[in-house]
């Protein structure tokens, strides 16, 4: 068995097609790297998940304890989980519904926990990646901004823009032409020693790795600025990198026709993130 899925704690249980996660994308997810059975940044993932549930009015009653039971079950039932690296995907939906957007506040959320083995790419963090600028833009809505919710059609459309395997990621702008993020990662750049990242006040995902990188930078006395800028600011950047919980930090060495070095701030942050993983 190389992949395992628990639905509300049960192996190979079935998802009700009337689940509101399917009907409306009415839910949230977390994608978590596991090393030898340890989900990295587990507390940070739980915090983002529960605070997003609260924003959407999805019950968190007993949720954390249940998810931790699910992890125990994975450890007990799947020896590979404790022995190798993998990706844990935790999805929480509002639960089953009748037709219509209104929901009963007593509905029980659905918990889907899936794990599959995953071997990290070692080349990309070391040598850097080539990225492109996507045409697909992100709509702005502060009510949804920051959450890793299940309404991800914009990301699907942005990722569908290219198939060239040399391109590892695409940068997306908001509909006003400001830098937002990558299709599946957060964006950082460095200029004159200052670390910049988009505010994501109106769109995008507040990645757990983004939060951790900003913490690590502040501890290391690197100035961090959250800004809303057009992509032209990258023309004068000294370093660019992308990050998420699963890939870690990927230096960007090529964007459109411009090349970038893998710079010292990127290498310093990579080293600090590596320490978290020990």
26 binds its own copies (CB under 8 A): yes
239 binds its own copies (CB under 8 A): no
How far apart CA 231 and CA 229 sit, in angstroms, is: 6
How far apart CA 267 and CA 272 sit, in angstroms, is: 9
167 binds its own copies (CB under 8 A): no
x-marked contacts with its own copies along 117-136 as a string, rule CB under 8 A: -------------------x
What are the structure tokens assigned to 155, written together? 């990301």
Residue of 4, 21, 41, 92 that binds its own copies (CB under 8 A):
21
Sign of CA dihedral 23, 50, 42, 198: positive
Residue of 8, 56, 66, 121 that binds its own copies (CB under 8 A):
56
Is position 181 annotated as part of the catalytic site? Answer: yes
Is position 31 annotated as part of the catalytic site? Answer: yes
Is position 183 annotated as part of the catalytic site? Answer: no
How far apart CA 142 and CA 202 sit, in angstroms, is: 4
Interface region with its own copies, contact rule CB under 8 A, candidates 149-157, 210-218, 234-242, 261-269? 149-157
Q: Which residues contact 201 (CB under 8 A, 6 or more apart)?
A: 142, 145, 228
64 binds its own copies (CB under 8 A): no
Q: Annotated catalytic residue: which of 30, 169, 181, 239?
A: 181
Residue of 8, 47, 84, 89 that binds its own copies (CB under 8 A):
89
Q: How many residues bind its own copies (CB under 8 A)?
A: 56
**Cα angle 114, 120, 122; round to 5:** 175
Computed on alpha carbons and rounded to an integer, the radius of gyration of the chain in Å comes to 19
Q: Annotated catalytic residue: which of 31, 93, 183, 197?
A: 31
Sign of CA dihedral 117, 73, 243, 265: negative
Pick the closer one to its own copies by CB: 46 or 113: 113
201 binds its own copies (CB under 8 A): no
Q: Annotated catalytic residue: which of 30, 93, 148, 266?
A: 148
Pick the closer one to its own copies by CB: 38 or 140: 140
Pick the closer one to its own copies by CB: 8 or 69: 8
245 binds its own copies (CB under 8 A): no
Sign of CA dihedral 91, 97, 103, 105: negative
Q: Residue 112: beta bridge partners?
A: 7, 91
Say if residue 122 is exposed, middle or buried (CB neighbours under 10 Å; 0-12, 13-18, 19+): exposed
How far apart CA 210 and CA 31 sit, in angstroms, is: 14
Say if residues 174 and 231 touch (Cβ distance below 8 Å).
no
Element (H, E) at 137: none
91 binds its own copies (CB under 8 A): yes
Residue of 70, 154, 181, 239 that binds its own copies (CB under 8 A):
154
Catalytic residue positions?
31, 148, 181
Residues that bind its own copies (CB under 8 A): 5, 7, 14-26, 29, 31, 56-57, 87, 89, 91, 93-94, 99-103, 112, 114, 116, 136-141, 143-144, 149-160, 175, 183-184, 203
């Amino acid at each position: 068995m190389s992949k395992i899925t628990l639905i509300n704690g049960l192996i190979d249980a079935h998802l009700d097609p009337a689940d509101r996660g399917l009907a409306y994308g009415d839910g949230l997810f977390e994608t978590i790297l596991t090393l030898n059975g340890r989900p990295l940044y587990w507390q940070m993932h739980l915090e983002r998940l529960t605070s997003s549930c609260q924003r959407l009015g999805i019950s968190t009653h007993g949720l954390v304890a249940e998810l931790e039971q699910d992890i125990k079950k994975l450890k007990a039932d799947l020896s590979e989980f404790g022995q190798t690296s993998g990706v844990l995907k935790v999805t929480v939906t509002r639960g089953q519904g009748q037709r219509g957007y209104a929901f009963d506040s007593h509905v029980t959320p659905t918990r889907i926990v899936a794990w599959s083995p995953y071997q990290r790419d070692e080349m990309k963090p070391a040598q850097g990646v080539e990225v492109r600028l996507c045409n697909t833009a992100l709509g702005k809505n502060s009510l949804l901004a920051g959450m890793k919710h299940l309404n991800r059609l914009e990301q699907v459309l942005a990722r569908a823009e290219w198939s060239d395997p040399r391109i590892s990621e695409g940068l997306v702008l908001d509909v006003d032409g400001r830098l937002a993020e990558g299709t599946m990662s957060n964006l950082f750049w460095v200029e004159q020693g200052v670390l910049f990242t988009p505010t994501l006040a109106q769109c995008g995902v507040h990645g757990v790795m983004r939060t951790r990188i900003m913490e690590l930078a502040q501890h290391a006395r690197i100035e961090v600025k959250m800004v809303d800028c057009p992509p032209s600011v990258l023309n004068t950047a000294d370093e660019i990198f992308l990050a998420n919980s699963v890939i870690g930090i990927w230096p960007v060495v090529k964007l459109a026709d411009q090349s970038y070095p893998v710079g010292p701030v990127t290498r310093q942050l990579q080293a600090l993130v590596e320490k978290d993983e020990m």
